[in-house]
Amino acid sequence: MYKLLIIDDERNIRIGLKAMIEREYPSLYSIRLAAGGVEALELYRDERADMIITDIRMPGMDGLELIQELNRSPLPPAVVILSGYDDFQYAKEAITYRVREYLLKPIVREELYQALNRITDDLKQEHEVNQELEKLNKYKDEQAADQLNYIFLHPDIPELEIRSRCAKAGLHLLTQPYVTGVIQGEPRQDSDFKKLWAEHFTGENSIAFTDKDRNLVVITSDESLFTDFIVYAQEKRLHVGIGVSAVNKEPEKVKHSYFQAKQALKYQILQAKKDASIYYYKDVNHLTMPQGLPEEEIRRLANLLGTGRKQEIQELWHCIFNVQTIKRHNISYLEQLSRLVNELVFDQVFTSYGEASVEILKSYKKIGYLYHSETISDYIHDAEDLLLRLDGYIKDIKEAHIGHAEMKAAIEYIGQNYDKPLNMATVSNHVSLNYSYFSETFKHFTGMSFVPYLKKVRIDKAKDLLEETHRKVYEIADQVGFENVKQFNRVFRELEGVSPMEYREKTWIHFK
């Protein structure tokens, strides 16, 4: 069934043409009607038509203006023009717009049928040719996909093999130079997305295929294809992102070009909302990394969980994830920042609080991978929400166990004997509790497992001695219960991010 759009500002003519065609061709055409060019264009953008029959003289957008707009689409429809004027100028202009048929009003039934038959025959032939071309292009695309994905996925391929695979993919046939685009759409848009691919990225100057992540990869010497594609995607209200590499002249550098495009595409997360947009590698290549990550602030954030100080948690979180700062730097900064928060905050909560906390973390599993969020604002909001829920969860646990006399006794015992060889068995025996029960209860009560807690107590005592005395580091290590200075240095750096001597120097300078 062919899709036919009839446009005329006279209602009787529209309805009459529809009835005339449906009587002669009862099941050949699916017909829609429009009273003018603007309405017709909207209908066409919602659903493409195979052919249109349009009047020339209409208020607003006339027939020729409509045809001009339709010809901008990748697959313009076959057009039949109707006119009440035997106007040679119109006919001449219509020819320049590739109009198939030109009919004069009043419509002669047989002339209309003959015109429709000619167009239908042409469309059938075009369809058959297109099917053959699709088969050929599919084979060509599969070959290109196999060869190029192999290059993308395998490191250390000899240059000679890369050249051979590029040639098999047809890369040498492109007009030089070329760019690579990686196009990402939403899964729910797959069918519409694939139609757009087929319409826009076929031809001698392009190679299009899907990569292992099901993104469309387009290697082309015509960079304008990407801007045309985005315009059309915006009209279709599709959420599409395109990362475009720098211009490349050497086919064997295609892998480098591909990863440039992927890197550029990552920047779509920094947009205020997800929309159809292009991201050029040349626009972000100059962005650099800052000197360091705010590790100290992230550790402080982790320590705030369970205190109930929500405003402080929120303020610190937004200080760490300052959007303006993030946008000034390479996207790798955001990736590393997110990874560090996972390691020092969320992973630590799981380690400390075990299975119960998993239920909270499950509902926010996308936070663990930055690019599960559509925008940076979504990520910041969802992670903040998770932090506040974890704060309440940990606070509830601590309050539920605050009256445990045995735990208080255990804490007191550790505080008095941290400088001696201590282990959990010794402390659990001291308070007369089962080893396993003590382990779980201690974790709930303190928010930490026994060994990390003991380390923290010893390091806190060591910090006091480093600040207040001139004792040597190895003396302090022995005094707070470490077996040797090497172990002390390692644990101190693990918890404080600096060595004992660096800590002492920093605190003394501050004191002075």
What's the pLDDT tens digit per position in 346-389? 888 877 766 556 667 666 677 888 888 889 999 999 999 999 98
Provide the b/e sequence for 279-307 (b: ≥16 CB within 10 Å).
bbbeebeeeeeeeebbeeebbebbebbbe
| pLDDT score at 259 | 96
Bridge partners (DSSP) listed for residue 219? 180, 207
Mean pLDDT of the region 271-299: 90
Q: Which letter, b or e, does each residue of 441-463 get, where b requires 16 or more Cβ atoms within 10 Å of its Cβ?
A: bbbbbbbbbbebbbbebbbebbb
Q: State the pLDDT at residue 192.
A: 57
Residue 379 near residue 268 (C-beta atoms within 8 A):
no
Give the pLDDT mean for 453-467: 93
Condensed to tens digits (0 to 9), the pLDDT of residues 118-136 reads: 999 999 998 888 777 677 6
pLDDT for the residue 399: 66
Q: Write down the residue that tokens 């560090």 correspond to.
A: 340
Contact criterion met (CB below 8 Å) for 459 and 470: no
Q: How confident is residue 271, by pLDDT bands cut at 50, 70 and 90?
A: confident
Structure confidence at residue 276 (pLDDT): 83
């106007």: which residue's tokens?
87
Question: Per residue in 375-432, pLDDT tens?
Answer: 999 999 999 999 998 888 888 776 665 557 788 899 999 999 999 999 999 998 998 8
Lowest mean pLDDT among 167-176, 256-265, 438-447, 457-466: 167-176
Averaged pLDDT for residues 201-221: 83
Q: Name the range with the highest mean pLDDT among 3-7, 142-146, 230-234.
A: 3-7
Beta partners for 30?
3
CA-derived radius of gyration, the chain? 35
| Listed range (55-69, 248-262, 415-429) with the worst mean pLDDT | 55-69
The reported pLDDT for the residue numbered 104 is 84
pTM of the full structure:
0.57
The pLDDT value given to residue 511 = 47
Peptide bond into 106 cis (omega under 30): yes
Candidates 38, 66, 65; CA nearest to 52 is: 66
Cβ-contact 268, 274 below 8 angstroms: yes
- Region 171-190 average pLDDT: 76
User: In the structure, what pLDDT confidence band is assigned to residue 439 with cuts at 50, 70 and 90?
Assistant: confident
164 pairs with which residues across the strands?
A: none
* pLDDT at residue 189 is higher than 60: no
| pLDDT surpasses 80 at 172 | no
- What residues contact residue 384 under an 8 Å CB cut-off, 6+ apart? 314, 317, 318
Q: How would residue 42 be classed by pLDDT, with cut points 50, 70 and 90?
A: very high
**What pLDDT score was predicted for residue 194?**
61
Sequence-ordered list of residues with C-beta below 8 angstroms from that of 71, at least 6 positions apart, any chain: 97, 98
